[in-house]
Amino acid sequence: MQIAVNILILLDFYAMTTLHTQEELQAIISPLKLAKKRIGLVPTMGALHQGHLSLVTRSLSECDLTVVSIFVNPTQFNNTDDLAKYPRHLDRDTALLNQLSDDIIVFAPTAENIYGTEVTAQKFDFGSLGQHMEGQHRPGHFDGVATVVSLLFDAVTPDRAYFGEKDYQQLRIIETLVKIQQRPTVIVPCPIARSHQGLALSSRNERLDQKQLQQALLLSQVLKQAHQSFDSKNFQDLKNTAISAFNDAPEFELEYFEIADVESLVPTSTKEPNKKYRAFIAAHLGGVRLIDNLELN
């Protein structure tokens, strides 16, 4: 009984606290783990939106305590300008989380506290999962993602960790990382959060003006069209239609449109029975890189 009371006091004392070091975090997490409390982790780079909050809400419903990490990870950026311009709003983010629940701890470490003296990414081999699409166009990106997620898992030791399907390839990478490292953490995929018009929510959307936000709907429209035509057209026709749509929109620079089966994530032009496929897209608009994906069948 006394242990339970102490745990409740601990949770109440640290509710909606912002911590900046692993040592502070472990001082809270360790007794909770001993008391068999379920810890949820929602890793973010901040600039929170309703997509992030949907992950947090899911964690709150399934866990005793939710840790939301806010850390703009430098090792997953292969574009220094993109890193410099990435939106940072820690005060606003914590205020949003405070409105959501008291059972949240915000973990906002420095790069040095997470990485130590050498802020570099480890090297990983994820096979075909990391070789195409984002892996091809952002060299080293998944090494940086896997490194920081691994370090966050070390710091938080979560029972469950929540990731959105907007970064579907990243999600598959992290699921594989957990298997490689034999971690007990359960990875929970969460659906893509979209605006009422269909735009996938993203922190990078902040950098778009109102006109560009309307133009950005082209990504989801192209994906929806591919979904609707999945049964009637072959993959090359779907791809040609998508490319044509972007050729007619000179404000965009299309980086890729690919269709891949969800297991290997290898782009293909051949449709096979009993396989599940997703379409993946990346495009630049006004200097902002946008990505989206959609299950086709």
* Token pair in block for residue 179: 């298997």
* Alpha carbons 210 and 19: distance in angstroms, whole number: 35
Say which of 49, 52, 137, 141 is annotated catalytic.
52
* Alpha carbons 136 and 261: distance in angstroms, whole number: 17
* Alpha carbons 79 and 85: distance in angstroms, whole number: 10
Residue 191, φ and ψ in degrees, nearest 5? -60, 155
SS3 state of residue 191: coil
Give exposure, 156-194, as e/b (b: 16+ Cβ within 10 Å). Answer: bbbbbbbbbbbbbbbbbbbebbbeeeebebebbebebbe
Active-site annotation holds for 89: no
SS3 state of residue 108: coil
Residues classed as catalytic? 52
